[in-house]
Amino acid sequence: MATAHTKTLSRIMNLPSIILLFIWMIVPLGMTIYYSFQRYNLLTPQRRGFNGWFNYEFFITDPAFFEAIGNTLLLVSGVLAITIIGGVLLGILLNQAIVGRGIVRILFISPFFIMPTVSALIWKNMLMNPIYGIFAHIAEFFGADPVDFFAVIPLLSIIIIVAWQWLPFATLILLTAMQSLDQEQQEAADMDGASTLAKFYYITLPHLARAITVVILIETIFLLSIFAEILVTTNGGPGTASTNLTYMVYNRALLQYDIGGASAGGIIAVILANIVAIFLIRAVGKNLEA
Amino acid sequence: MARKVTLQRKLGFTALAWFLGCIMFFPIFWMILTSFKTEIDAIASPPLVFFQATWENYQLVLNQSDYLKYFGNSVVIAGGSTILALLVAIPSAWSMAFSPTRHTKDVLMWMLSTKMMPPVGVLVPIYLMLKYLGLLDTRTGLVIIMMLINLPIIIWMLYTYFKEIPSEILEASRMDGAVLWKEIVYVLLPMALPGIASTLLLNLILAWNEAFWTLNLTAANAAPLTAFIASYSSPEGLFWSKLSAASTMAIAPIMVLGWFSQKQLVTGLTFGAVK
Amino acid sequence: MGNIVLEKVHKCFGDVEVIPSVDLDIKDGEFVVFVGPSGCGKSTLLRLIAGLEDLTGGKIIIDGVDVSDSTPAKRELAMVFQSYALYPHMTVRKNIAFPLKMAGMPQDEIDKKVMAAAESLNLTDYLERTPGLLSGGQRQRVAIGRAIVRSPSAFLFDEPLSNLDAALRVNMRIEITDLHKELKTTMIYVTHDQVEAMTMADRIVVLQAGDVEQFGTPLDLYNKPVNRFVAGFIGSPKMNFVKGKDADEFDAHEIGFRPEHMSVSTTKGRWKGVVSVAEHLGADTFLHVKTDEVGTLVTRSDGEINVNYGDTVYVSPNTDKIYRFGADGLAL
């Protein structure tokens, strides 16, 4: 498809989406930057004006800020660690000859299709509730004290819920990648006298590198913006113990109506995401070309 | 494996896989079970596995709350935004897959990078804009936003699928005398249809479950199921059976769709990097 | 009719010049093969004729009409692709009928023509199958069927046999040659396989780096190569080349002699050497002889010769059949 006619035509066909995405990227971001330098609170809309770096200073010096950054990173890395390690192990397991593999796969993949508010509420009420939850009953059965998950370990509880949602995704992708592993390569390694562990380390793992990169990229995109799970379980608390950056900005904007402050927070979130993105996009770009 | 799998080994793996699978599925199973309990049975101690099943909760949810309105909102928002995005994305992906330039790779990467922008970075202006335009808490507003959110992923998925159609076949149709529209109708579209269908399916799932914009930009009017379920989080609304019934209805259609789209999910969401 | 003329055809991809300038005159009914090493521009040249690529400069004239700016559809050529490019979602019948449908022919006439094509290609039993269920050879036939139904003014083949196994390739080679004899339509055939070129072509175009090195009949190319490149490219095993004082003797910068034009002796000869490889093919024996003076030479002797790996032999070229080249690589 390399004649001038089709070339021009296809440029035109590509334009709408480029323009839309460009506007989508530039206009709101520009406005956020503008607002971030404004004194602007919806409760006191008459007191507006240029505010310099005040919003940023105010946002960053908020004691909750560093906690939110830490929580964001912990949430992302915690879920990534669980889902990738778990995904590799489960992938290996499901790649074995198993009776009823189709049904087992459905059992494993299902949590991925559950909307975040539903999964968070099931976990919060029916599993992690300190009095009526299943975990409490199990603890009692063994004679231990039930844990009040969202009061004692709020962030870890959220990590568990989110990991439950994303483990199926990682498992499915890594399982698919394993199934495309060259059988002859495995047999060649057998002939070369490689042990099961050596085969995993030298053949399976390098083969999975690409799939793992993709899982990290996709999950990170979604995990940086975890919101609903926090909203319906802890509301960011107790205190700010489970507030991530997304929730903190939401809190500023829609609960405190502090447009300027929330915008500054939004810009900080964008910068953080971009730092992560630069590394990821590079890694993925390299991996996808191969 | 050409090597014989010993029976023991097979049984061991089977048992382990089923055990872990049941643990993964347990929360969903428990939710479905609870949806058939009375509110009293739902919080019984020790928890009840055998009980008098009842449809009452489903009836209550359907009658009391405007469940159907929320369901309709979900359908309109997820379906509308996906179809709208497809209409914009198909020509775009077609052009990049079949007549790539030096910049195609960069354009694709840039599109993906827009997805890296955290929604919270633009929450304030989007909220204010929709408010100003009177689109806050309307389905139209949500459809537009959700379409823009998913557009990059849709373009990527379609691009991946289109890439797999050999360009020689399109050239063959041109040699056979097909003009552009005939080439598209008779050759390209039939070959691209499975890919378009997978993309549609996957994005329906993603859009159905999206819970940042839907929670922040809707209230009573345009709220989809995600927001409706979230309203059960208030401490005074601890009606587990009703929550379970509402949740089961909210996830059932999309979960079944999901079961059938496992393969497409992998290819689609990894942009063809994993097959 | 199918007279195809290329005038100063020029093609660049971005800054890369693939075809500097090509002039060709392909006569109606001729079977012309484009041959050359990979990357020589032979496929690009074919695609330019097809209209699948734009010309950067020059003209393409088919039957006296300048088609340089015409779409492929308007040029009324048919093409068989390397991958066959069958429509996977259509049955064999629909695949073959497609060009006729595009031309807007009435259905009953289409049916008639498809049946005729299917019969001549032994495809009648497969008409309702989709390409995915066919073997490589059958797919190839469907691709040819699709090309012949609408009686184009010329056929273009882009390495059509390279995906087939060796035995099938020989069969299809003969079938395509027969087809040409039957239809007497111009055919342009691209290949990197010089055996295909030599056996099928009326005339061969040897290309290198986008330039036409020589355009002539197979035997012309074999007997009178215009330069060192053509001499080395045509013929299998390849021609031996020798420089230095042996070439000076013949008043040339370099001399070449084909393996089949050499004699091997165990007692005397021009160059002494050791057999490093002996390929006994039955009818022929190829010897790779490592000499001290002029490097490794390849010879072709009859199958009966009793020489094996490690033997010391003497080889001499047949002086009547020596090709002489100047310092610029041109034949003298």
The confidence score (pLDDT) of residue C222 equals 92
The residue-averaged pLDDT of C84-92 equals 90
- State chain A's mean pLDDT as an integer: 85
pTM, rounded to two decimals: 0.80
* B and C: number of Cβ contacts within 8 A: 63
For chain C, how many residues are written?
332
Residue A67: how many CB atoms within 10 A of its CB? 18
Angle CA(B186)–CA(B192)–CA(B195) in degrees, nearest 5? 160
B237: exposed, middle or buried (C-beta count within 10 Å: 0-12, 13-18, 19+)?
exposed
- Cβ contact (<8 Å) for C72 and B168? no
Residues C3-36: tens digit of each pLDDT: 999 999 999 888 888 999 999 999 999 999 999 9
What is the percent of chain A where pLDDT is above 70? 95
Nearest C-alpha in C relative to B168 = C85
Host H or E run for residue C277: strand C271-280
* Same domain as C192, residue C83: yes
Domain assignment present for C330? no
Which residue in C has a C-alpha nearest to residue B177's C-alpha? C73
Q: Distance (Å, rounded) from C-alpha B26 to C-alpha A123?
A: 11
CB contacts of B108 in chain A (<8 Å) are none
Q: Select the residue of B166, B171, B178 nearest C102 (Cβ to Cβ).
A: B178
CA-CA distance, A228 to A242, in Å (whole number)?
12
Rounded Cα distance, C325 and A19, in Å: 62
Mutate to test the interface with B, among A55, A101, A112, A125 (most CBs of B within 10 A): A125
* pLDDT > 70 fraction of chain C, expressed in percent and rounded: 100
| CATH architecture classification, B65-269 | Orthogonal Bundle (1.10)
In chain B, whose CA is at the least distance from the CA of C146? B176
Q: Which of C47, C54, C60, C70 to mutate to test the interface with A (most CBs of A within 10 A)?
A: C54
User: Per CB distance under 8 Å, which residues of C are interface residues toward A?
Assistant: 51-54, 71
What's the pLDDT at B274?
Answer: 73
pLDDT of residue A71: 92
Mean pLDDT of all residues in B121-141: 88
Confirm or reject contact between C83 and chain B (CB < 8 A).
yes
Residue B225 CB-half CA count within 13 A: 31
- pLDDT value for A1: 42
Chain A residues closer than 8 Å to C54 by CB: 2-4
Minimal-distance CA residue of chain B relative to A41: B124
Q: Is the confidence at residue B1, as pLDDT, over 50?
A: no
CA dist., res. A128 & res. A234, Å (int): 12
Residue of chain A nearest B215, judged by CA positions: A228
**What is the side-by-side order of every strand in the sheet holding C254-257?**
C240-243, C254-257, C323-325
| Residue A283: predicted pLDDT | 66
Mean pLDDT (whole number) for C288-310: 88
Both C180 and C262 in one domain: the answer is no
Q: What is the pLDDT of residues B194-204, one digit of tens each?
A: 888 888 988 89
Cβ–Cβ of B174/C71 closer than 8 Å? yes
Query: Which residues in chain B are closer than 8 Å to A40, comparing Cβ atoms?
Result: none
**CB–CB of B175 and C78 under 8 A?**
yes
Residue B70 has phi, psi (to 5 degrees) of -65, -40
Q: In what order do the strands lie in the sheet with C211-216?
A: C77-80, C154-158, C186-191, C31-35, C203-208, C211-216
Q: What confidence tens digit (pLDDT) does each residue in C129-183 have?
A: 999 899 888 998 999 999 988 888 999 999 988 888 888 888 889 989 999 999 8
Position C175 in a domain: yes
Chain C: give the shortest CA distance to residue A11, in Å.
17
Q: Looking at residue A255, what is its pLDDT?
A: 81
- CA A283 from chain center: how many Å? 17
* Nearest CB to A25; choose among B117, B209, B215: B117
Kindly list the domain boundaries of chain B, sorted by start residue: 7-58, 65-269
pLDDT for A76 equals: 93
Å between C141 CA and nearest CA of chain A: 25
- pLDDT above 90 as % of chain A: 19
Is residue C227 located within the same domain as residue C261?
A: no
- The CATH number of whichever domain residue C74 belongs to comes to 3.40.50.300
Give the pair of three-digit tokens for residue C120: 């001549």
Q: What is the CATH classification number for the domain harbouring C265?
A: 2.40.50.140
Q: What are phi and psi of B122, to 5 degrees?
A: -120, 10
| Alpha-carbon distance A137 to nearest alpha carbon in chain B (angstroms) | 7
Q: Which residue has the tokens 């010769």?
A: C305
* Closest by CA position to A87, among listed B211, B274, B31: B274
User: Would you place residue B4 in the very low, low, confident or very high pLDDT band (cuts 50, 70, 90)?
Assistant: low
Chain A residue set in contact with C, beta carbons under 8 Å: 2-5
The residue among B178 and A87 whose pLDDT is bigger is A87
Q: Are residues C117 and C216 located together in one domain of the fold?
A: yes
Nearest CA distance, C69 vs chain A (angstrom): 10
Say whether both C309 and C167 belong to one domain: no
Angle between helices B67-98 and B139-163 (to 10 degrees): 40
Task: Kindly list the residues from chain B whose CB atom is less than 8 angstroms away from the CB atom of residue C142.
Answer: none
Give the pLDDT band (50/70/90) at residue B2. Answer: very low
pLDDT exceeds cutoff 70 at C209: yes
Question: Do C295 and C153 fall into the same domain?
Answer: no
Contacts of residue C71 in chain A, CB cutoff 8 Å? Answer: 3, 5
The architecture that CATH gives domain A54-289 is: Orthogonal Bundle (1.10)
pLDDT score for A168: 93
Tell me which of C167, C200, C231 is where a domain ends: C231
**C interface mutation test: which of A3, A5, A8 has the most C CBs within 10 A?**
A3
Q: Is B179 on the interface with C (CB under 8 A)?
A: yes
Contact yes or no for A202/A189 (Cβ under 8 A): yes
Cβ–Cβ below 8 Å for B176 and C146:
yes
Contacts A281 to B, Cβ<8 Å:
109, 112-113, 116
With CB atoms and an 8 Å threshold, state whether B10 touches A99. Answer: yes
The ipTM, to two decimals, is 0.86
b (16+ CB within 10 A) / e for B6-17:
eeeeeeebbeeb
Q: What is the average pLDDT score of chain B?
A: 85
C149/B contact by beta carbon, under 8 A = no
Q: Determine the pLDDT at residue B78.
A: 93
Q: Is the pLDDT of residue A186 over 90?
A: no
Q: Which residues contact A144 (CB under 8 A, 6 or more apart)?
A: none
Chain A residue with minimum CA distance to C44? A2
Q: Are the Cβ atoms of A126 and B27 closer than 8 angstroms?
A: yes
Q: Which pLDDT band, with edges at 50, 70 and 90, does B243 fall under?
A: confident
The C-alpha of B181 sits at a distance from chain C's nearest C-alpha, in angstroms, of 11
Range of the domain at C210: 4-231
B229 to chain C nearest CA, in Å? Answer: 44
Top residue of B175, B179, B193 to mutate, by most chain C CBs within 10 Å, is: B175
Q: Are the C-beta atoms of B162 and B198 separated by less than 8 Å?
A: no
- Closest residue to B187, CB basis, from C76, C78, C87: C87
CB contact under 8 A, B168 and C82: yes
Contact status, residue A252 vs residue A261, Cβ threshold 8 Å: yes
Q: Highest-confidence range of A5-9, A60-64, A163-167, B176-180, by mean pLDDT? A: A163-167
CB contact under 8 A, A228 and B109: no
- Closest residue in C to B182 (Cα) is C102
pLDDT of residue B211: 86
Q: Is residue C63 predicted with pLDDT exceeding 70? A: yes
B118 with A269: Cβ contact below 8 A = yes
Q: What's the number of domains chain C is made of?
A: 2
Find, in chain B, the residue whose alpha carbon is nearest to that of C72.
Answer: B175
CB contact under 8 A, A173 and B89: no
C331 located within any domain: no
Asked if B182 and C50 come within 8 Å (Cβ–Cβ), the reply is no
The neighbouring-strand residues paired with C17 are C12
